[in-house]
A and B are shown apart, each in its own frame.
Chain A
Amino acid sequence: MTYIAEPAQLVLWLRGGLQQLAVWAGLPAVWGDWLGTVMEIFSLFAFCAVLVMVLVYAERKIAGHMQDRLGPMRVGWHGVLQVVADTIKLIFKESEVPAQADRCVYRAAPYVVFLAGFLALLALPLDKGVLPVHLNVGVIYILAAGTPGVVGILMAGWGSGNKYSLLGGLRSAAQMISYEVPLVLSLLGIVMLGRSLDLQQLVAAQTVPFVLYQPVAFIVFLIAAVAETNRNPFDIPEAESELTAGFHTEYGGIRFAYFFLAEYVKMFVFSALAATLFLGGWRGPVLPGWCWFFIKTGGMLFLFFWFRWTFPRLRADQLMNLGWKILTPLAFLNIIGTALMLMWL
C-alpha cells in the first residue's frame, strides 16, 4: 500500500505539480506552493469536519443505547444522515450577536477555540511515517497547541456579556490550566522511557505498549484529558444544569458549530495521543498501522463517551482538589518512580 506508506512523496509530487501549474500560468513557482498549502489546510479541515460528524453520530448512538433508547433514527438509515441535517441547520441558522456582547471578542472566540484543537491535530502520527507535519518535539507541540483554547473559552465567556457565560468561562480557565499540569507531567514518564519527544520515535520505541510500564501515568492522563476536553464528569464550564450551557450559552448557528467541532476534535486529539503514547499507536499485528491507530483511538473515544453517560459532574472545588491534590502528586510520584526504574534497570 504505497499511498499509505509514502504520503509525504505524494504531497511532494502534488506540490511539484502545482508549482508546474503556476509556472505554466506565468506566475512565480511559490504561488503553487501557497496553493498547495491552502489545499492542505482545506483537506485537513474537511477531515476535521467528517471526523466530527462520525464522532457525533457515534456518540449519539452509543449514548442512546446506553440510556435504553435508540438515538437518531429518522434521517437516513438508522439516522446516519442526522448529523448532516444538523450541520446544514447550523450553517443556515441566522447567527446573531447579543446586544450585551463585546462584539469583536464574541465573534472571534469560536475560531480561537477551534484553531487550538485543529493545530494539535497536525502532528498526530496516523501510521508509520504518516503525519501531516513531522516535528521532533511532537509531544510538546500537541500539548502547547491545545492550550490557546483556554483563551478562546475565556473570550467566549467574557464576550457574551452574560453572567452564566462568564462563570463558565472562568471555571473553564481555572480547570484547564489546573489540569494542564498533571497532563504534561503524566507524559514525562513516557518521554523518559522513550527517550524522545518525537511521536514517531515514541511509537517505534513501544515494543510493549507503555501503558504496562506506566499505568499510573495512563490513569492520570486519562482523567486530565477528560477534564481538558470539558466533558462529563468534568463538564463544569458547560454544566448544563447550573449554567445552562456555560461559555457557549449565547452562541448559535455556525459559531456554536465551531465550539462543537473544537470539543470533538480535542477529544479526538487526546484519544489519539493516549493511543499513541500509551497503547502503542500504529503498532499492531496483521492489520495496517492506520487501522490500529484508529482502533485504539476509537477505544479511547469510547471511554470518553462511556464516562460522560455514566457519571455525575464534580463540583468546581472538588475538581480543583482532584487536580492539584491527587493527580499532580501522583504524576510527580510517577516521574520519580520512572526515573528510579530507569536508573536501576
Chain B
Amino acid sequence: MRRILFSSWQVVMGLGQGLAVTLGQLFRKPCTVQYPKERLIWPQRSRGRLVLPRTREGRHKCTSCLMCQRACPNGTIAITFKTGDDNKRALVDFLYALERCTFCGLCVEACPFDALRMSHAHELAAYDRNRLTLHLQEEKIPFHPAWRGGLSYRAELPPAAGSGQAHVKEGG
C-alpha cells in the first residue's frame, strides 16, 4: 500500500513539475522576434552576398587576378578581363552566380587586394533565375566601415563598430 502511495505520489510530482514549467513560461515574455517587422542586428562577421565595394573615389579594387575565381569551390565567380597595352588587366565583367554561392567566404579570404567583401544582404530570393546572375562591377556599393580590416585571417578585425548592418540593395 505504501509503495503504491509512494509511486503515485512520484507520478503526481513528475507530472506537476512539468505542468509548472509550462505554466511558468505562460506568463513570461516570449523571446520571439517578429522577423520582417523587427530585425536583429547581424554580427560584423556575418556572411551575406558578395559585393565589390567602391573606394571613396568610386573605384573598385579588383585587378582581375582570378584568385577568387580559383578559390571558389562551386564556380560561382567568372571574371572576364581585357589586357591593356601595358600588360595590365582591366576588369570587364565580374559575374557572380548567386544561385551557386554557399557563402563560405573563401573568395574574400583569397583576395590579395581587399577588393571583395561579403555584405549582410541576405534576403536574396528572386522570382526569376536570371536575377540571380549578378554583375558586381555594375553595382556602386560604397565601402562600409564595418568591412575595414579585411576578412582574411592574417589581419584581425578591429572591435565591432556600429551596427554592422550593411545597406546593400539587392542587385539584378
| Whether chain A touches chain B in the assembled complex (some CB pair under 8 Å) | yes
Q: Which of A65, A306, A311 contacts B30 (CB 8 A)?
A: A65
| A73→B33 CA distance, assembly (Å) | 11
Most buried by B among A66, A67, A70, A309: A66
Is there an interface contact between B22 and A306, defined as CB atoms closer than 8 Å?
A: yes
Residue A7, interface by CB 8 Å:
no
Is there an interface contact between B34 and A73, defined as CB atoms closer than 8 Å?
A: yes
Residue A254, interface by CB 8 Å:
no
Determine the chain A residues whose CB is within 8 A of the CB of B27 once the complex forms: 65
Is there an interface contact between B19 and A65, defined as CB atoms closer than 8 Å?
A: no
Residue B161, interface by CB 8 Å:
no
Is there an interface contact between B22 and A70, defined as CB atoms closer than 8 Å?
A: no
Determine the chain B residues whose CB is within 8 A of the CB of A73 once the complex forms: 34
| A309→B19 CA distance, assembly (Å) | 9
Residue A64, interface by CB 8 Å:
yes
Is there an interface contact between B21 and A310, defined as CB atoms closer than 8 Å?
A: yes
Which A46-99 residues have C-beta < 8 A from chain B? 62, 64-70, 73
Is there an interface contact between B19 and A310, defined as CB atoms closer than 8 Å?
A: yes
Is there an interface contact between B30 and A309, defined as CB atoms closer than 8 Å?
A: no
Which B1-60 residues have C-beta < 8 A from chain A? 15, 18-19, 21-23, 25-28, 30-32, 34
Interface majority SS (helix, strand, loop, mixed), chain B:
helix
Q: Which of B15, B19, B31, B34 contacts A68 (CB 8 A)?
A: B31
Determine the chain A residues whose CB is within 8 A of the CB of B15 once the complex forms: 311
Q: For chains A and B in complex, what number of residue pairs have CB atoms within 8 angstroms?
A: 35
Which A281-318 residues have C-beta < 8 A from chain B? 306-307, 309-311
Determine the chain A residues whose CB is within 8 A of the CB of B32 once the complex forms: 68-70
Is there an interface contact between B26 and A65, defined as CB atoms closer than 8 Å?
A: yes
Is there an interface contact between A69 and B19, defined as CB atoms closer than 8 Å?
A: no
Is there an interface contact between B22 and A69, defined as CB atoms closer than 8 Å?
A: no
Q: Which of B18, B21, B23, B30 contacts A69 (CB 8 A)?
A: B30
Determine the chain B residues whose CB is within 8 A of the CB of A306 once the complex forms: 19, 22-23
| A310→B22 CA distance, assembly (Å) | 6
Is there an interface contact between B26 and A62, defined as CB atoms closer than 8 Å?
A: yes
Q: Place the interface of chain A in its size category.
A: 10 to 19
Is there an interface contact between A65 and B25, defined as CB atoms closer than 8 Å?
A: yes
Q: Which of A64, A70, A310 contacts B34 (CB 8 A)?
A: A70
Is there an interface contact between B22 and A66, defined as CB atoms closer than 8 Å?
A: yes
Is there an interface contact between B28 and A68, defined as CB atoms closer than 8 Å?
A: yes
Determine the chain A residues whose CB is within 8 A of the CB of B19 once the complex forms: 306-307, 310
Determine the chain A residues whose CB is within 8 A of the CB of B23 once the complex forms: 66, 306
Is there an interface contact between A311 and B26, defined as CB atoms closer than 8 Å?
A: no
Determine the chain B residues whose CB is within 8 A of the CB of A65 once the complex forms: 25-27, 30
| A62→B22 CA distance, assembly (Å) | 10
* Shortest Cβ distance from B15 into A: residue: A311
| A44→B30 CA distance, assembly (Å) | 37
| Contact flags A129-173 to B (C-beta < 8 A → 1, else 0) | 000000000000000000000000000000000000000000000
What's the least CB distance linking B24 to chain A, in Å?
A: 9
* Shortest Cβ distance from A303 into B: residue: B19
Which B83-125 residues have C-beta < 8 A from chain A? none
Determine the chain A residues whose CB is within 8 A of the CB of B30 once the complex forms: 64-65, 68-70
| A70→B27 CA distance, assembly (Å) | 12
What's the least CB distance linking A275 to chain B, in Å?
A: 20
Is there an interface contact between B25 and A67, defined as CB atoms closer than 8 Å?
A: yes
Determine the chain B residues whose CB is within 8 A of the CB of A68 once the complex forms: 25, 28, 30-32
Is there an interface contact between A66 and B18, defined as CB atoms closer than 8 Å?
A: no
| A73→B34 CA distance, assembly (Å) | 9
| A307→B23 CA distance, assembly (Å) | 10
A positions within 8 Å CB-CB of B:
62, 64-70, 73, 306-307, 309-311
21 residue pairs from A and B, CB less than 8 Å apart: A64-B30, A65-B25, A65-B26, A65-B30, A66-B22, A66-B23, A66-B25, A67-B22, A67-B25, A68-B25, A68-B28, A68-B31, A68-B32, A69-B30, A69-B32, A306-B22, A306-B23, A307-B19, A309-B22, A310-B19, A311-B15
Known: A65-B25, A306-B19, A310-B18. 7 other contacts (CB 8 A): A66-B22, A66-B25, A68-B32, A306-B22, A307-B19, A309-B22, A311-B18
Ordered nearest first, which 6 A-B pairs have the shortest CB separation?
A66-B22, A310-B22, A70-B32, A69-B32, A310-B18, A65-B26
